[in-house]
Amino acid sequence: MVLPGSDVETYMCRMSDAHASMMRVTELAYMTLSNWGQRGTTMEPQSARIREWLGPAPYLFATASKKHYEDQASLDRTIVEHIAPTASDRTVVEIRELDELIRDDATISHAITVLRPFEERDCDLLAELVRGGHLEKLFVIVHHENYPIRIWLDAMGATDLHSGTVADVLSPVLLQAAESIKSEDYNGLSSGRGKDAIVQLVRAFAPHGYPVDPVLWMRAYFAVGGSFRGAADISKLVTEMQRGVRHRVKPRYRDEIYDILLARIDEEDGAV
């Protein structure tokens, strides 16, 4: 249970109170650290843009470590003080505290800003909160554009507040392949059946205009609910393939797997 009066509890309401029968679709946005600061020249206008997206004060922030946040040299603290200059307008919690929302079957109807998430457990928690409809608006400061959290945000249709753009929608056939990979999660994706699936599907899709690109395959995997651990395995294998490594795998699919998945989609569309 959440302790009465805790920082997270202040912003919570029960899922039943929020009409949980209609699953919330979390509104998502992000900005990379480099685009927020741009060598110290754009922190003020970019912070104003973030505030406009978040809505009126008070502001709720989540950091990986409150101990590190309290340090005078804390980058997270600098970001928070630019977005919410007035101390009384901001509350800061640790990312792991948001797990209380799942345990208590609750939701936050207030916008929340998550600061530079990196650890797999923190990122997986955010993904679970979004899938479960526990957050109404989530904004993320991404430490680096190549970090998995940014790829996940693009997969979820988040808006890049700096450019105002959303990543292109992935093709249904690529998502079908990602579902096949995800179905092997229980055994892990770094070896065995999981590795076989990744390597063979990436090879099969390459001649059809789908590059051997770790970001593309991670994004597809995230889009079907994949974990950050699994995405790391995909990234490693596809990066090795990109570099020319020839992985030995056991045959899992027929050579024409791309056409088989494409036909399956056509059948499903025809049945609607």
Residue 124's pLDDT is 97
Residue 109's pLDDT is 87
Residue 20's pLDDT is 47
Residue 67's pLDDT is 94
d(CA 223, CA 203): 20
d(CA 163, CA 142): 14
Task: Tell which CATH classification among 1.20.1290, 3.30.750, 2.40.50, 1.10.760 matches the domain 172-271.
Answer: 1.20.1290
d(CA 217, CA 198): 9
- Same topology, domains 7-166 and 172-271? Answer is no
Quote helix, strand, coil % in the chain, to nearest 5: 50, 15, 35
DSSP string covering 167-221: PPPPPHHHHHHHHHHHTTGGG-SSSHHHHHHHHHHHHHHGGGT--S-HHHHHHHH
Residue 12's pLDDT is 61
Which of 136, 228, 234 has its CA nearest to residue 180?
Answer: 234
Domain boundaries, the chain: 7-166, 172-271
Q: Which tokens in the block code for residue 175?
A: 């998502």
Asked if residue 64 lies in contact with residue 117, where contact means CB atoms within 8 angstroms, the answer is: yes
Q: Taking the model in full, what pTM does it have?
A: 0.90
Name the architecture of domain 7-166. 3-Layer(aba) Sandwich (3.40)
For the chain, report the end-to-end CA distance as a whole number of angstroms.
44
Distances in Å between the alpha carbon of 58 and those of 32, 92, 95?
A: 23, 11, 18
d(CA 226, CA 181): 9
Residue 271's pLDDT is 62
Burial class (CB in 10 A: 0-12, 13-18, 19+), 87: exposed
12-14/106-108 β-pairing: antiparallel
**pLDDT tens, the chain, 272 aa long:** 343 346 666 666 655 444 443 457 899 999 999 999 988 788 999 999 999 999 999 999 999 999 999 998 999 999 999 999 999 999 999 999 999 988 888 999 889 999 999 999 999 999 999 999 999 999 999 999 999 999 999 999 999 999 999 999 999 999 999 999 999 999 889 999 999 999 999 999 999 999 999 999 999 999 999 999 999 999 999 999 999 999 999 998 999 999 999 999 887 776 65
Whole-angstrom Cα Rg for the chain: 20
Q: Give ∠ CA 40-43-44 in degrees, rounded to 5.
A: 130
Residue 18's pLDDT is 43
